[in-house]
Structure 1
Amino acid sequence: MGKETYTGDVAFEVRGHLGLITLNRPNALNSLTQLMCESIRIQLEDWADDDAVAQVLIRGAGERGLCAGGDIVGVYQDMVEHQGQDGGPLLPEGTPGYRADFETEAFWAVEYAMNLLISEYPKPYIALMDGVVLGGGVGVSAHGSHRIVTERSRVGMPETTIGFSPDVGGSWLLARAPGKLGLHAGLTGAHLSAADAIYAGLADTHVPTERLEELVTELTAQPVEEVLPKFSTSPGDSALQSAQEWIDQAYAADEVSEILERLDQLGQQYPEAVAAAEELRKKSPTMLQVVFRAVGNAAELSLAGALSQEYTIAMHSLRSQDFREGIRAQVVDKDRNPQWNPPSVEQVDEELIAHYFTPVPGRVLTL
């Protein structure tokens, strides 16, 4: 038997030479909290210096997937405390209930530091990206050295749906996908299959779900480089790869409004382009513009630089209407009818976009 410890909603175990991390909130689809991220970071640092641990693996408890992201309801409640129940502007200083800091600010700072540690980890970091892997779930997996998807995998950064922008290093990952596929995935919030995730560079290897336990058992005693080839199978064809021609044509535009125009034109030949345009028009117009710039910038940034940029965007998002409204519509009230402000891409001015990339004094993430 291995040595097992629990810290909040994440379990750690050393089994043979394998350090095993299990996200343990199955009823919440293993969504991340600040304590979970802090615990993972501390444990990874300990294992990095432990000669008995040769490699590390992360997985999710339950049947639904690795991780659906961060605790979005908690973020919403944090914004309600600052903006009041009516969703108006931030409560002014001196108002009863006023707080200078959002609790979410500290959560993201801890989470992003953990993401960077995973990317730089000195030992093999193996991620079982089975089932749902969204947002923060991508952050704890796609920065690893060995990223395993299954026939059940649904991988994505769906933040524009809730009036937010891909974070946890997502902009950096998407910027490195072939052609314009990453921009397409980031703007639409598409859920990628195993084959799509591998082609986009978010994963490496396909293993059938039914063989994951056997894989973990072998990893307790043997190096991942020797074990993984024995379990690897074909993920099948990538729909994303097949669509690359029209995606590259559409998303090579210089601005989001032009992307929409190109998708409308390409829709005469490619039905998928019509669906993409319809999807984009459901998203926060402001965040579409922000994501377009963020992914473009991230192509020239280090991961640390991209995380810092994402943190700045996040600071402004916490103080915006669209982020709160997006969570309300999708997660809280679930009416799926967000009222974005401004309501169209054409009404989002350059000054507003630039605002999201302007560091907030006292809230700059240095990694």
Structure 2
Amino acid sequence: MDAYRGFVMILMAAEMLQFEHMHEAFPNSVIWALLAHHQSHVAWAGCSLHDLIQPSFSFLVGVALPYSMASRAGLGQSPGTQFGNALRRSLILILLGIFLRSTHADQTNFTFEDTLTQIGLGYPFLFLLGKASPRTIWIALAVVLVGYWLAFVLYPAPGTNFDYGAVGVPVDWPEHYSGLMAHFNKNSNLAWAFDTWFLNLFPRAKPFLFNGGGYATLSFIPTLGTMLLGLIAGRWLRSDLTRRELLKRFLLVGAIGLTAGVLLQVTGICPVVKRIWTPAWVLFSGGWCFWLLAFFYGIIDVANKRSWAFPLIVVGMNSIAIYCLVHLIDRFIITSLYTHLGSGPFLILGPAYEQLLIGIVTLGIFYLILRWMYRRKLFIRI
């Protein structure tokens, strides 16, 4: 689990390698084109490797919950105390998400669509289901997915006269849907309408009209579905199932999730869109999460190949630390490297590779910080 989490956090931090810059420098390179694609989010429907970062992080929150609850129960904490801790953790995650989103802003940027705030908004509900029966958890998952889909479908679809230009979407944008799936079009759906009311309740430099990426606050509801899938996986990990039985179950459920998500898209029922976390996305990305968990579990626990994963574990055991480091001091480190070393060392392979090399060095510094914390058993927990 720590290795999987470390892999996810490294994918997030690796944005500073700027593969898109390499793709622009070498437009005919298939390798750089592939790496650039998987280091960016798809425009709307579909999935890249980068799109799996947030669902993986959310999924692993669910996986970890049974372990956390068992640990706290072992310390003699009452259910009420544990729920109080869950509420405290939820509030810290929400406030930390807002703080990190506001670090380069002129005022507090009240926004709730990033990874930390989305998890924070859904975490109390996840905790309340933490000790529920498997049947209840599956029913809760179905209610979240069907209910969220139904809410979108019941909200009026944009008409032919809808002014997409006013909400930052080109009129001829190729991702526009018709029919039932038009209810999930960018910045004209239920979640967008909710945010045009909700986000304007907070102090803002100017009224909120739309999110440029189409992201939305209400996505925390289906994100809870992703965390519930993780909770199911975490319970299985703590069960009496053999390692091989667990691996088979992860692979099977992953295949079912992927298939269900694709079928919902191709049948025109619900698109696979990460930006508004559609129910089809919950199933599709959840399938990938189960497969990724199976990959790390199969190699590390079943095949007992552990040594290779040590760097991932170092990062994964301090996921909040690396998240904050990337958002707070990446610019400071890069500026300091240029100040003290100049640009010469990063131009050794030519100007095209400058951003790549400065990114690699910065990632290396982040890893050394986390390695130092790991050796001294300094782990940031919320």
Task: Please tell me whether Structure 1 or Structure 2 has the larger radius of gyration of its CA atoms.
Answer: 2
Per the shorter chain, which TM-score range?
A: under 0.3
Write 1 or 2 for the structure with the bigger share of helix: 2
Question: Greater strand percent: which structure?
Answer: 1
TM-score normalized by the length of structure 2:
0.25
